[in-house]
Copies of this chain bind each other. A is one copy, B any other.
């Protein structure tokens, strides 16, 4: 035996109500991941009795979240089951991605993670309160774009975001200690979940990408560089939400100067604008540059991969930069620099969700927070 998964210390009291919610989530989770099933199937997989499952399913059907789908085609002995499945469009989610520097984009997403409508607003240099106002507008306009009830609003924001959904620090938008979650929730009258964009990205990838059960690290490359991690099935926050701040780890003490005042941060070689500039320089050997950057990235990530037993490393950002010599070099160096036990199960790839990772991940924030599903 060994203490696995469970936090070392108990947190807070546990009501019967919590048990009920937990079991509700258990069923929703099953339907979410494995698709329609009969009540009896749900009872078998969840370990609950058929009675309890029927009761819970009845409740969910009453709410419209789950719908009866009739009997399956194949005929077996006994009474044919009635399949029930998640009603993906019974409720919609509003998801926002604030990580671009020129616009805020958002979408209406259904419970299956499919984008139903899109909308965006240009930032036009808005900062501070103006930028908050812009977020409010974007959210409201998206809510108006669906006729379904809205389960909640999920936001992937740049910068450091704490567990309460307050943006501690986001230089681009000039936000410091901005209680985005609270103000949005108040204005909209809906549950709002805010997290760092790299964190929502890793959630999106974890839930809707082709990922396994091992540790997952998503490296987001854009204006800056950030990472999000899912370890042991949980999102890693760090003490003040500062986990994943890999962009300003030094990769070369003698490297270029960085905006943070130090030298040779990962961002100085990997952030998209910097890297593009370097590739556009006269006489630059594209493959050589990308390989060199990939190698440095690999050397930086190797200790992380080895220490955390990461199984999947996903590069998210401009594919034309990331998915070629850069990825290959990073992959190779990580394998060279970690023991086979660690690297054997490792996959290094680019995101299958493309530019929507953050958006879809923001929806996962809501799915997870409201339904306990991911």
Give A residues with C-beta under 8 Å from B.
1-16, 18-19, 22-23, 25-26, 29, 46-48, 160-165, 181, 185, 191-195, 203, 206-207, 213-215, 227, 229-246, 248-250, 253, 260, 262, 265, 300-304, 306-309, 311, 336-339, 341-342, 345, 365, 368-369, 372-374
A309 touching B11 in the complex, CB below 8 Å, given contacts A4-B237, A369-B1 = no
Contact call A309/B239, Cβ cutoff below 8 A:
yes
- Residues on the B chain within 8 Å of A245, using CB: 306-307, 309, 339, 341-342
Contact call A368/B242, Cβ cutoff below 8 A:
no
A181 touching B2 in the complex, CB below 8 Å, given contacts A245-B309, A303-B300 = yes
Alpha-carbon gap, A249 to B302, bound state (A)? 7
Alpha-carbon gap, A1 to B160, bound state (A)? 14
Q: Which 8 A-B pairs have the closest CB atoms?
A: A238-B309, A248-B339, A250-B337, A214-B239, A4-B163, A249-B306, A8-B374, A243-B309
Question: A240: shortest Cβ distance to chain B, in Å?
Answer: 8
Question: A298: shortest Cβ distance to chain B, in Å?
Answer: 10
Q: Nearest CB to that of A305 among chain B residues?
A: B249
Number of copies: 2
Name A303's contact: one of B164, B215, B303 (CB within 8 Å): B303
- Residues on the B chain within 8 Å of A48, using CB: 13
A213 touching B239 in the complex, CB below 8 Å, given contacts A14-B22, A26-B10 = yes
Q: Nearest CB to that of A374 among chain B residues?
A: B8
Name A7's contact: one of B234, B303, B307, B311 (CB within 8 Å): B234
Known: A12-B47, A160-B341, A301-B303. 4 other contacts (CB 8 A): A8-B234, A10-B29, A14-B19, A250-B338
Alpha-carbon gap, A185 to B372, bound state (A)? 36
Q: List 13 A-B contacts (CB under 8 A).
A: A1-B164, A2-B161, A2-B162, A3-B365, A5-B234, A10-B23, A13-B26, A16-B19, A242-B341, A246-B306, A248-B342, A253-B336, A253-B337
Alpha-carbon gap, A300 to B305, bound state (A)? 12
Contact call A9/B163, Cβ cutoff below 8 A:
no
Question: A261: shortest Cβ distance to chain B, in Å?
Answer: 9
Question: A171: shortest Cβ distance to chain B, in Å?
Answer: 12
- Residues on the B chain within 8 Å of A248, using CB: 306, 338-339, 342
Contact call A307/B304, Cβ cutoff below 8 A:
yes
A165 touching B246 in the complex, CB below 8 Å, given contacts A23-B13, A300-B303, A304-B303 = no
Alpha-carbon gap, A369 to B249, bound state (A)? 37
- Residues on the B chain within 8 Å of A244, using CB: 307, 309
Alpha-carbon gap, A2 to B195, bound state (A)? 6
